[in-house]
Amino acid sequence: MHCLTFDIEEHFQVSRFDSPIRRRHWTTFESRVTPNTCKLLELLSRSQTRATFFVLGWVAERHPGLIKQIIECGHEIASHGYAHELVTAQTPELFRADVRKAKQLLEDLTGQSIQGYRAPGFTITRETLWALPILAEEGYTYDSSVVPIRHDHCGIPGADPWPHLRQTASGPIWEVPPSTSNLGGIRLPIAGGSYFRLLPFPLVCQLLKRIARQGRPLVVYFHAWELDPHQPHMEGTFLSRLFHYRNLDKMEHRIASLMSTFRFAPIAEQMNFSSIPPLEPAVFPAIPPAEIAQDVA
Ligand SMILES: [Zn+2]
């Protein structure tokens, strides 16, 4: 069994189009998150597949019925934070307030304990590792934000690419990184986002199957807006627009195809966190430079 995950946010909230001015106008843009998520729920229901939904608190506050619908379909609700601020743009105090607010809101709406967190833009990096003990203190069981890649605004090259228990000064927290694969000597996040949409689909499938053959659980990730090829286009650089809008019309077919190839379950069920006893508390191990060099060699 593998893990299928979705980040539930509006099409205008993505980090690559974010700006303080645009953020002030969030409430004036057309909301499309409900129809997009409903499309997703239908797609999952047709394949009898359940998944983890990392919901943005801002969205949950405005669309409580949608959150209840996701729960009624048997999916896991997890937190994508409240305001979609990159962790790298926050202080530890602001980050704590953001993840606390989102967790409380989602727990009030669902009546369930929220176990998982995923940072906007996967921005738990070497500089923001202080976020992990805060997540543990705030009662999160797992994080899915540390990507073992070299990238300009996210990633920790050389980090463990597989789900593992991580020790922090405030106790243990599970890390469930999205799947990555080595391609031409470079580790790439092929299991979602722009890489999944831009690379040839047969190649991505081959790489995902290779991970599965190693006996590793896949962690794939998509966004509600990726099922919406008719969303209004935002202004941005050529590359931002290429990475955001390319192949959106193919996503429904691709996600359905993945669901017929692999068996998926929500992260909280698949990882069975409670079955493995916590290790001795320790601080973060430093990643040896040799590992980093190997990763990008
Ligand atoms: Zn996001």
Residue type, 3: C
Q: How far is the CA of 115 from the centre of ligand 1 (A)?
A: 18
Reduce the DSSP state of residue 245 to 3 states and report it. Answer: helix
Stated as kind and residue range, the H or E segment containing 223 is strand 219-223
Q: At 183, list the tokens.
A: 């391609």
CB 87 within 8 A of CB 110: no
Given a contact cutoff of 8 angstroms between Cβ atoms, the answer to whether 125 and 154 are in contact is yes
**CA–CA distances in Å: residue 44 to residues 6, 37, 47, 52, 171:** 11, 10, 5, 11, 35
- Tell how far the Cα of 57 is from the centroid of ligand 1, in angstroms: 11
pLDDT at 280 over 80: no
Q: Which residues surround ligand 1, an ion (CB under 5 A)?
A: 7, 9, 120
- pLDDT per residue over 138-175, tens digit each? 999 999 999 998 887 888 988 999 999 999 999 999 99
Q: For residues 279 and 265, which has the higher predicted lDDT (pLDDT)?
A: 265
Q: How far is the CA of 81 from the centre of ligand 1 (A)?
A: 9
Distance 222 CA to ligand 1 centre (A): 10
pLDDT of residue 274: 63
Tell me what pLDDT residue 97 has: 97
- Is residue 181 a contact partner of residue 219, using CB atoms and an 8 Å limit? no
18's tokens: 């974010």
Rounded mean pLDDT of 27-39? 93
Of 287, 81, 274, 271, which Cα lies nearest the Cα of 175?
271
Q: Is the pLDDT of residue 256 over 50?
A: yes
User: What is the CA(289)–ligand 1 centre distance, in A?
Assistant: 30
Amino acid sitting at position 297: A
- Give me the amino acid identity at 211: I
Q: Which residue has the tokens 């998520």?
A: 37
CA–CA dist 63, 58 (Å, integer): 9
Q: Which of 239, 195, 242, 199 is nearest to 220 (CA)?
A: 195
Q: Say whether 256 sits in a helix, a strand or coil.
A: helix
In this predicted structure, the answer to whether residue 8 has a pLDDT above a threshold of 60 is yes
- Which tens digit of pLDDT belongs to each residue from 77-93? 999 999 999 999 999 99
Rounded Cα distance, 177 and 5, in Å: 11
pLDDT, tens digit, for every residue of 95-147?
Answer: 999 999 999 999 999 999 999 999 999 999 999 999 999 999 999 999 999 99
Rounded to the nearest angstrom, the distance between the alpha carbon of 7 and the centre of ligand 1 is: 6
Q: What is the pLDDT of residue 243?
A: 80
193 pLDDT tier (thresholds 50, 70, 90):
confident
User: If you measure from the C-alpha of residue 234 to the centroid of ligand 1, how many angstroms do you get, rounded to a whole number?
Assistant: 16
CA gap 146, 15 in Å, rounded: 17
CA of 288 to the centre of ligand 1 (A): 30
- For the cut 50, the answer to whether the pLDDT of residue 286 exceeds it is no
Mean pLDDT, residues 30-41 taken together: 95
Q: Give the per-residue pLDDT at 293.
A: 36
What average pLDDT does range 239-253 have in this prediction? Answer: 87
How much distance in Å is there from the Cα of 126 to the middle of ligand 1? 20
Mean pLDDT of the chain: 88
Q: Quote the ligand 1 centre to 211 CA distance (angstroms).
A: 25
**What is the mean predicted confidence (pLDDT) over 259-281?**
75
Q: State in Å: Cα 8 to ligand 1 middle.
A: 7
